[in-house]
Structure 1
Amino acid sequence: MQALGWNVHWQSAFEAAAKTIDGLVPARVTAQFTNQYRIGAEAGELSAEVSGKFQFQAASRSDYPAVGDWVLIQPLPGEQRAVIHGVLPRRTAMIRRAAGSVPEEQVIGTNIDTLFIVNALNGDYNVRKIERYLIVAWESGAAPVVLLTKADLCEDALQRIAEVEAATPGVPVHAVSALQDEGRSELLPYLRQGRTIAVTGSSGAGKSTLLNWLAGEERQIVQGVREDDARGRHTTTHRELFPLPGGFVMMDTPGMRELQLWDSESGRQEAFADIEALSANCRFRDCKHLAEKGCAVREALQDGSLDEHRYASYKKTGRELAHQARKERSVTNRAKKNADKRQVARANNVSLTKDFE
């Protein structure tokens, strides 16, 4: 259990939560499939599914276990299976908007201490993409670190590091090359015993290669990228935890073609802390940064101390979150109206039954 990150905090949380059902033991979700989970417990690796009561009480998909969760399980005697009865309160959670037209959150991983945001120094390099991942990272509660992989393919790595540092104030940025075995020493402070590190980024950025490099052996299959657009195929098809030498745990995640934000306004404020600080110096509290007098943001844009592309990204993500919030309110209101209609229908049905009797 210690190899998966078990400590006194989780022991205390387990003891508080395990009072309702006898025979429960703790475990950690190490992989997630459609309706099945792989978990690590004191007895070893087991397959598991949630109980019927858990399904009935779950209000949304985010209530279900996710990779990284510590869960309360009941092992089935004589089998390598178990039933999940509950999830211990999460310390951190990386969340994005799920695909589809209905606004819904999708939990990517939980109880993450450090989040490696991976972007390759080839055609995949994109500062604006890193900013989006940074919003999610700050919102999750995990400590973000930007890793610029495949540094051996870039002739101006130092310039790229400087560009990313300017767009990620206060966030560590490291350029590494697994092929050349360069940059490993810079990562050692994060790879401490008992810590959980998640790796996220687009397909072909080198996430699985990074995991294999730090593990010292092949844990994940690695595929190449298309040379014309630097896009990779989805080597990793599901989220999974890997205990690695040194006592830390690494979570590999499938590459994302597009990262849709979910309820991330505080994360956006952290990711664009420099622009938020400028806004606080505007003459008017409700400044729109258009043509108002005394606008500190416009002044920074004019004197070049604020990059126009960064400001455009700030505005774009703000509009995206506002639009999503409106859609979510619309869906919530519609669901409430439907629930009220069902309640009225049930009441009318009861009334008609009584009249008939």
Structure 2
Amino acid sequence: MPEFDLGELGWNPELADNLEPNDLPLGSAGFAGAASSKRLVPGRVAAAHRGAFDVWTATGAVRSRLPGRLMHEGLDVAVGDWVGLLDGLIRAVLPRRSAIVRNVASNQHRLTSGQTLAANVDVAFVVSSLGPDLEPRRIERYLVTIWESGASPEIVLTKADRLDDPWPLAAEMEAVALGVPVHVVSAVTGQGCDALRARIAPGTTAVLLGSSGVGKSTLVNRWLGDEVMATRETREDDDEGRHTTTVRQLLTL
């Protein structure tokens, strides 16, 4: 089972300090009957499934879940969270430095509740293709969500190979989002891909947000050098067609 360098995943002394108070006493041990405690094992949530989570620890990946009590209490666990494990169960979620939350309607009265999409994100890339999907209002909504989360937003315009001159559209985005970096890339030709990858420094967590079919998975696959994320063909005239489902998964570059 492969091990993980927690430092490369973003583990730091502040997180370690937050884990210490959560040490759980487990009674006595040893011939002297001295009190002992079993420390929580730190890990980072890499993927969420129905009722289960893949957690990366220093000794490898663990399939974990919440104890019944915490599940009943509705403890919020998201991809990117740092957690404390004990006997294979998630016993604590450490304080987040950022959280990207989407409001969702909860009933017919249009009440909304927050759904955490990703936690402890440093950089959030808003991805849109250079085509019909390029809607400034939609990008503005993404930017508001990211600013509220505590992460830093950047705009990524994909499929630059479709246009002879993508820069006028990039200039429009720069005018809409003053001060937000705008990147023009093509996963087909490689334009801008390496420079964008360089924006993700060691120990940094980045997330790609955007509509289905804009090229998020294709971009990640190019960075990884392998077909890790499933992709589907889309129609060039409107970017519609068969798309992959929404994926929230932690990957190492």
The aligned counterpart of 1:40 is: 56
Residue aligning to 1:335: none
Q: Deviations over 1:126-163 (max 9, x none)?
A: 11111111111111110000000001112331100110
**C-alpha distance in 1, partners of 2:218/2:158?**
10
TM-score between both structures, scaled by the size of structure 1: 0.62
SS in 1 for 2:84: strand
Q: Does 1:175 align with 2:184?
A: yes
1:18 match: 23
Determine if the alignment matches structure 1 residue 96 to structure 2 residue 102: yes
CA contact (8 A) 1:146 1:174 kept: yes
> In 2 relative to 1, CA 202–237 (structure 1 residues): closer, same or farther, beyond 3 Å?
closer
Amino acid at match of 1:70: W
Q: In 2, distance between residues paired with 1:213 and 1:237?
A: 19
Match of 1:229 among 228, 235, 238: 238
Letter in 1 for 2:145: V
For 2:106 and 2:233, the matched residues in 1 are separated by 29
The answer as to 2:120 corresponding to 1:111 is yes
- Give the distance between the partners of 1:90 and 1:105, measured in 2 at CA: 15
Cα 1:16–1:154 change in 2 (3 A) is farther
Segments of 5+ residues of structure 2 without an aligned counterpart are: 1-5, 27-37
CA shift, 1:123, in A, is 1.9
Given candidates 128, 143, 148, the residue that maps to 1:134 is 143
Question: Structure 1: how far apart are the matches of 2:25 and 2:210?
Answer: 40
Structure 2: distance between partners of 1:46 and 1:188? 28
Cα distance, 1:92 vs. partner? Answer: 0.2
On the 8 A contact 2:102/2:145 being kept in 1, the answer is yes
SS of equivalent residue, structure 1 residue 134: helix
Alpha-carbon separation, structure 2, partners of 1:11 and 1:117: 31
The separation in 1 between residues aligned to 2:73 and 2:13, in whole angstroms, is 28
Once residues 42 and 243 of structure 2 are traced to their aligned partners in structure 1, the CA distance between those partners, rounded to angstroms, is 32
Report the 3-state secondary structure (helix = DSSP H, G, I; strand = E; otherwise coil) of the residue aligned with 2:89.
Answer: strand
Q: Output the aligned Cα RMSD.
A: 1.8
Whether the 8 Å CA contact 1:93–1:109 is kept in 2: the answer is yes
2:78 is the counterpart of 1:66: yes
Report the alpha carbon displacement of residue 237 of structure 1 after superposing the two structures with TM.
3.8
Equivalent residues in 2 for 1:229-268 (5 A)?
A: 229-244=238-253
Q: Give deviations 1:159-192, integer Å, cap 9, x for gaps.
A: 0011000000110001000100110343244221
CA separation of 1:15 and 1:179: change in aligned 2, threshold 3 A: same
Which structure carries more strand by proportion?
2
> What code does the residue aligned with 2:248 have?
R
Q: Which structure 1 residue ranges, 5 or more long, are not aligned?
A: 76-81, 245-357
Shift of residue 57, structure 1, vs aligned partner: 3.6
Normalised by the length of structure 2, the TM-score is 0.86
CA distance in 1, matches of 2:68, 2:25: 16
After superposition, what is the alpha-carbon deviation per residue over 1:109-138, rounded to whole angstroms, capped at 9, x for unaligned? 000000000000122111111111111111
CA deviation profile, 1:30-82 (whole Å, cap 9, x unmatched) = 00112111111122111111012212444xxxx4210000011113xxxxxx2
Could you say which residue in structure 2 is the equivalent of 1:332? none
Tell me how far apart the structure 1 counterparts of residues 23 and 154 of structure 2 sit (CA, whole Å).
35
Larger-Rg structure: 1
2:173 aligned residue (146, 154, 164): 164
2-side partners of 1:94 and 1:198: how far apart?
10
Structure with more helix by fraction: 1
1:2 to 7, 10, 28: 7
Which residue of structure 2 aligns with residue 303 of structure 1?
A: none
Q: Give, in whole Å, the separation in 1 of the partners of 2:246 and 2:168.
A: 33
Cα distance in 1 for partners of 2:234, 2:156 equals 18
| 2:46 counterpart of 1:27 | no
Partner of 2:201: 192
Shift in Å, 1:25: 0.7
Q: Percent identity?
A: 40
Q: What's the CA shift for 1:3? A: 3.6
Counterpart CA distance in 2 for 1:99 and 1:223 is: 29
Cα deviation, residue 236, structure 1: 4.2
Asked if the contact 1:117–1:199 (Cα under 8 Å) also holds between the matched residues in 2, the reply is: yes
**DSSP-derived class of the 1:86 partner:** strand
The aligned counterpart of 1:120 is 129
